[in-house]
Structure 1
């Protein structure tokens, strides 16, 4: 795969990831844990077909079932799957996506604590600016502006970047130890855990046939396929460029739900989100520039 094709592949992955919000707004009855269960369930079914076609019929026999990092990564994916969909049913799409956007900064902080990796000044500046943006966004909910459900949804959404930070730190540490984790099978494990945990919480099922069709679409095209595409693109693109292109999910997601579902972001979300995205964008662009100048590879900041 050429560099240009890999970049467009990553853009497509970001676009597919971004459809969760607008699809969720099409659901008639299904809410909360039932939404999470069905999306995770359909992701499992999709990957059970995709993985053998992609990596061979013996792919499941080769999975590192006895490795703790593999299970930890799968657990983190399960937390992300569950918290993301539950948060979407409780608060605005823009708020959830922007909250998720701080994952690279939390990853950088956790990596500093766990591995002792020194953070460049640009990343510290991005962390401060991103924190201010998050504070600005959440401060807009004070004074009774937001309902209790929106407050709780915002808190639930915070679990997504926190789990992502742990997951990527585990992946980086395993890579450094010479035993890298295959992230796509870890996604399958996460979907399995998410399905098992949310099944009793989702019962009794209320989803209509159209709801199930939308959720099946999410499982296949919003998780399974883009995860495979992102892994393929990451084999060619530098880590900084993958992170940079991944930010398009936020832009696409807010635009889609605004245009197709009529859910306009609140002013404080747009203001705080602009600061968060600006900090991330500046950090990734500077990292990309440093990488191209030095001719080496850098880890995600």
Structure 2
């Protein structure tokens, strides 16, 4: 797609809104639980991408999977961890906890890239990491007392896997091997479907549950993934990082309004530190680049 900047911003906002429906939809499921939720969402995501990707990117997208080699499959494995951990975490703790925990992804990416490929971290980012770390520690302290720590730790697997994913992609790029993220997302959905199937049995989802999870596979994951890939060709990295934060705001509001799940004061305070640190870091980085 040939996008203007304003249209890319609009589509990125639309993508974050679609991402954010996972929490409220999960709260309306009747019988599906834990790994069964993950299985059905991953299954419908893979099914949707098998239709969407050839239309948007041509049939050559499947050839890229065969020729992708280890980097593409490692990227797909990271995506599968992200898909699985996200949905399991939503069944263990609040939507707000999950989304705020995921928002530390850019900082974890900076730390992993520093450790694995020696990327230099600017002073402003070190400061932002410290502030965000304080916010997460504040949240985690409250989770120990209310029994939600396990869900928050599972949610932490999402930004960790994302950090490893982006770092592997950067390393492959520096070595002259480009990893196409589009087929990697499809590989991730297929892998998640395969290894959550045994854990999802016996199926207990109602027809209504299947309908909701099919909606998540198509609208919450497959379509926005395709949109973000297109937007990334127009928008700068700081713009994408800032716009992606809308998922946290939209997700918490939808769960609050649509499922009566009000965020606690601890989550709001810790989340404000994390998101504030990310916004300031990205804005300062954007200004320096400009």
Task: Give the CA deviation at 1:114.
Answer: 1.5
2:48 corresponds to which residue? 46
The answer on 1:27 being equivalent to 2:29 is yes
Task: Give the CA deviation at 1:178.
Answer: 2.7
Mapping of residues 188-199 of structure 1, within 5 Å: 188-199=186-197
Q: Tell me if the contact between 1:65 and 1:71 (Cα under 8 Å) persists in the aligned partners.
A: no
Task: Give the CA deviation at 1:18.
Answer: 0.8
2:171 corresponds to which residue? 173
Q: Which runs of 5+ in 2 are unaligned?
A: none
Q: Tell me if the contact between 1:171 and 1:180 (Cα under 8 Å) persists in the aligned partners.
A: yes
RMSD of equivalent CA atoms: 1.1
Distance in 2 (alpha carbons) for counterparts of 1:254 and 1:7:
21
Question: What per-residue deviation string (whole Å, max 9, x for no partner) do you get for residues 84-111 of structure 1?
Answer: 0000011000000011011110000111
TM-score, normalised by the number of residues in structure 2: 0.97
How has the CA–CA distance of structure 1 residues 187 and 66 changed in structure 2, closer, same or farther, with 3 Å as cutoff? closer
Q: Tell me if the contact between 2:75 and 2:165 (Cα under 8 Å) persists in the aligned partners.
A: yes
How has the CA–CA distance of structure 1 residues 123 and 41 changed in structure 2, closer, same or farther, with 3 Å as cutoff? same
Q: Which runs of 5+ in 1 are unaligned?
A: 293-301
Task: Give the CA deviation at 1:185.
Answer: 0.9
Q: Tell me if the contact between 1:64 and 1:70 (Cα under 8 Å) persists in the aligned partners.
A: no
1:110 corresponds to which residue? 112
How has the CA–CA distance of structure 1 residues 66 and 289 changed in structure 2, closer, same or farther, with 3 Å as cutoff? closer
Task: Give the CA deviation at 1:154.
Answer: 1.2
2:212 corresponds to which residue? 214
Distance in 2 (alpha carbons) for counterparts of 1:254 and 1:174:
36
2:260 corresponds to which residue? 262
Distance in 1 (alpha carbons) for counterparts of 2:96 and 2:103:
11
2:130 corresponds to which residue? 128
The count of corresponding residues between Structure 1 and Structure 2 is: 288
Local SS of the residue matching 1:168: helix
Q: 2:84 aligns with which of 73, 82, 85?
A: 82
Task: Give the CA deviation at 1:58.
Answer: 3.2
Distance in 2 (alpha carbons) for counterparts of 1:7 and 1:38:
30
Distance in 2 (alpha carbons) for counterparts of 1:233 and 1:197:
31
More helix by share: 2
1:200 corresponds to which residue? 198
Distance in 1 (alpha carbons) for counterparts of 2:14 and 2:270:
26
2:281 corresponds to which residue? 283
How has the CA–CA distance of structure 1 residues 66 and 290 changed in structure 2, closer, same or farther, with 3 Å as cutoff? closer
TM-score, normalised by the number of residues in structure 1: 0.93
Task: Give the CA deviation at 1:64.
Answer: 4.4
Q: Tell me if the contact between 1:44 and 1:192 (Cα under 8 Å) persists in the aligned partners.
A: yes
Mapping of residues 219-258 of structure 1, within 5 Å: 219-258=217-256
